């Protein structure tokens, strides 16, 4: 059973329901999620928020056709508990971190709402396409009960695609497990003909969305339940459900001592000395992985 659980964590699958002109993604995170969360030791409310954000990042990022492209999910709030949340996805690798106000968090409810965490905040979703060098960004208010609601609004408003997003997060045997479902309707195909995106009450979409709404958070985050089995539970009455190849997910922080040295070397010598401590060492922090890189000034070439 342990091998079965391990094999079904940290991956994403895509699927399509041709007769309903629908497509979707399912993801489940396990050890990758544990690794990212453990280096930060966040309070429970912030840990749950980042777990949801990482799951959403994997869901949306897995839709990228550009294998070298990047998806960035970022929130911004001036007066909320959470000042900044950043997650990104590139080539199956995910990472993320949160900056928050501990005093304000202490005043918030044990299970804070999205408004309690962010106030009047915003969510930005950015696609950077490596193949063309293009960048697309959409910004929506952080309305709703959860981050998933804001992502759902992003697709409805910025992409004009009827979308359903569901996420679940739990602790199983001392481990963090999260899962998610992204379901979309493309009644006239992905390219070419005009989409019937304005018709949120399209019969095909109403049918698929009703089925998607039956999935529970506990099922999405159940490490013992294979994603393909869950997909079958939801859509077994459909004529055809095409399942795409599985994509492995991993923690991918791109901090690198050599790269940091190359960046610092571009600063004038006097500025580098001003950054250094009494021992001539510049400490460069990586917010994503909570590692400090000690760079000696005398190692930097002009």
Q: What is the pLDDT of residues 277-293, one digit of tens each?
A: 888 888 777 777 777 77
Residue 207's pLDDT is: 93
Task: For residues 157 and 273, state if they share a domain.
Answer: no
Distance separating alpha carbons of residues 209 and 185, to the nearest angstrom:
9
Give the residues of the chain that fall short of pLDDT 70.
Answer: 1-7, 187-201, 301-302
Residue 46's pLDDT is: 95
Number of domains comprising the chain: 2
Q: What is the DSSP string of 215-257?
A: --HHHHT-TTS-HHHHHHHHHTTSS--EEPPPEE-EE-----H
Task: For residues 30 and 70, state if they share a domain.
Answer: yes
Query: What residue numbers bound the domain in which 195 lies?
Result: 2-251
Task: For residues 144 and 288, state if they share a domain.
Answer: no
Task: For residues 77 and 160, state if they share a domain.
Answer: yes
pTM: 0.86
Residue 287's pLDDT is: 73
DSSP state at residue 67? T
Residue 8's pLDDT is: 81
Q: What is the CATH number of the domain that holds 223?
A: 3.55.30.10
CA within 13 Å, CB half, 258 = 0
Task: For residues 229 and 272, state if they share a domain.
Answer: no
Angle, helix 203-212 to helix 227-235, in steps of 10 degrees:
130
Task: For residues 143 and 262, state if they share a domain.
Answer: no
Residue 7's pLDDT is: 56
Residue 199's pLDDT is: 54
Task: For residues 280 and 235, state if they share a domain.
Answer: no
Cα–Cα distance list, 67 to 95, 131, 132 (Å): 17, 9, 12
Q: Is 263 in contact with 293 (CB distance < 8 Å)?
A: no
H-assigned helices in 95-162? 102-107, 114-118, 147-154
Residue 187's pLDDT is: 66
Residue 195's pLDDT is: 44
Backbone angles phi, psi at 168, to 5 degrees: -135, 145
Residues whose CB falls within 8 Å of the CB of residue 158, separated by 6 or more in sequence, listed in order: 125, 138, 139, 140
Task: For residues 143 and 200, state if they share a domain.
Answer: yes
């Amino acid at each position: 059973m342990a091998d079965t659980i391990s094999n079904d964590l940290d991956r994403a699958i895509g699927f399509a329901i041709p007769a309903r002109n629908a497509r979707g993604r399912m993801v489940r995170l396990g050890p990758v999620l544990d690794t990212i969360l453990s280096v930060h030791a966040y309070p429970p409310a912030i840990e749950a928020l980042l777990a949801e954000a990482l799951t959403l990042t994997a869901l949306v990022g897995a839709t990228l056709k550009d294998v070298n492209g990047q998806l960035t999910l970022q929130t911004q709030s001036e007066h909320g508990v959470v000042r900044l949340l950043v997650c990104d996805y590139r080539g199956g690798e995910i990472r993320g971190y949160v900056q928050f106000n501990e005093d304000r968090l202490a005043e918030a409810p044990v299970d804070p709402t999205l408004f309690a965490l962010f106030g009047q905040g915003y969510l930005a979703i950015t696609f950077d396409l490596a193949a063309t060098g293009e960048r697309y960004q959409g910004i929506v208010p952080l309305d709703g009960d959860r981050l998933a609601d804001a992502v759902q609004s992003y697709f409805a408003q910025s992409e004009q695609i009827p979308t359903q997003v569901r996420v679940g997060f739990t602790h199983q045997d001392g481990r963090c497990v999260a899962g998610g479902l992204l379901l979309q309707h493309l009644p006239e195909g992905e390219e070419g003909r005009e989409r019937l995106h304005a018709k949120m009450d399209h019969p095909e979409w109403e049918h698929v969305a009703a089925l998607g709404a039956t999935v529970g958070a506990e099922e999405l985050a159940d490490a013992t339940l294979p994603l393909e089995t869950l997909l079958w539970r939801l859509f077994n009455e459909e004529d055809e459900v095409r399942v795409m190849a599985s994509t492995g997910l991993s923690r991918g922080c791109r901090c690198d001592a050599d790269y940091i040295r190359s960046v610092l070397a571009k600063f004038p010598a006097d500025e580098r000395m001003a950054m250094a401590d009494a021992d001539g060492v510049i400490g460069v922090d990586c917010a994503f992985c909570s590692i400090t890189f000690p760079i000696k000034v005398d190692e930097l070439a002009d």
